[in-house]
Amino acid sequence: MQPSLQPTGRGALPSPPSRGVPEDARGSVALSRIRLRHLTCFVVVAQERTLARAAARLHLSQPAVSKTLAELEELAGRRLVERSRAGTQLTPAGEEFLRYAVDVTQALESAAAVLTGAAVPIAPTIRVAALPTVAGGLLVEAIARLRERRPHAGVSVRIGDNPELLAGLKAGEIDVAVGRMAEPATMQGVSFELLYAESLAVVTRPQHPLAVAGDKPLSPLALVDYPLVVPGPGTAPRHDVEGFFAAHGVALPPGRTETQSVAVARALTLISDAVWITPRHPVQLDIDRRWLRPLNVPVPGNAEPVGILSRSGTPPSELAGQLMDALRELA
């Protein structure tokens, strides 16, 4: 027998008008027709963000996935997924419904695990995600601290931009993330807890011509004589870098290296005379060990708020709670 969904409160979806059916009974009629295949299909589409990938994961044809979504939307009485050549995107109603659909599918997976005797893994695992500029700094330290407390726990780390972090949380693919506050419309179903306000740092290798001068104050104009390494376009750190140069009446020079990869930027800075302008946290470990040297350049402080992202209304697991505590202690 297929289980049916019965969300309540804000999560309840109105059913299409039915002749002769009282208003208060329409929801029950629609909900009695929602099946597990509808929920599973919807959640997988939300996770994969394209019908083609969702179909491959579900071992279905793409028309079958489209038909199942259409059935769900007909029962809901509203559109839940916008389709385009670029992929799929949830509507506000879809975002709201996803919160409950994920809970139902995860509960059923847990129930199946109990029946098969696989409910309690030998080593619990936490799925964490972070921005590239956070992963190599605060998150690494927090994982190390978690290891001291739970040496046998598993940790799965994903790196992505802020929209990817939010989408993964909403779809139940991520337990906790470290990222930035977004527009209210995209934060539906996600809670944000401030950890720190990120500031910029300008760093070089210790043997760089600008670094050998010691802590002598430097003008931003001195940086443009060297190849720059800066965050990629469209990111919050890149906006801060552009604002930094604009505040000093200097245009961001051409010939720069643009990357979101901390590993690429770090390696390039270590082996050349590149000047790396970056949020401070990903380079703090290198600065503390004197592998990289911060230049005395007047950069804006506390530019971008960074914090813990988690699903609203869903208590964190014990392991997730311990990682969140470690992040708070280290911030």
pTM: 0.68
Instruction: Please state, in angstroms and rounded to a whole number, the distance separating the CA atoms of residues 224 and 228.
Output: 7
**What SS3 class is residue 238?**
helix
Per-residue confidence (pLDDT) for residue 144, from 0 to 100: 94
Per-residue confidence (pLDDT) for residue 207, from 0 to 100: 95
- Tokens representing 327 are 């992040």
Sheet holding 190-198, edge to edge: 154-159, 125-130, 176-180, 304-311, 190-198
pLDDT along the chain (331 residues), means of 10: 42 43 55 84 88 91 92 89 89 85 78 66 80 85 91 90 90 91 87 90 95 85 93 88 87 89 94 94 90 90 82 86 94 84
Q: Considering only CA atoms, which of 235, 119, 129 is closest in space to residue 173?
A: 129
Per-residue confidence (pLDDT) for residue 8, from 0 to 100: 41
> Are the beta carbons of 173 and 311 closer than 8 angstroms?
no
Per-residue confidence (pLDDT) for residue 123, from 0 to 100: 59
Residue 200: beta bridge partners? 279
Residue 279: beta bridge partners? 200
Sort 226 into a burial class: Cβ within 10 Å, 0-12 / 13-18 / 19+.
middle
Per-residue confidence (pLDDT) for residue 1, from 0 to 100: 41
Q: Considering only CA atoms, which of 88, 84, 82, 72 is closest in space to residue 35?
A: 72
Instruction: Please state, in angstroms and rounded to a whole number, the distance separating the CA atoms of residues 60 and 146.
Output: 40
Instruction: Please state, in angstroms and rounded to a whole number, the distance separating the CA atoms of residues 318 and 149.
Output: 12
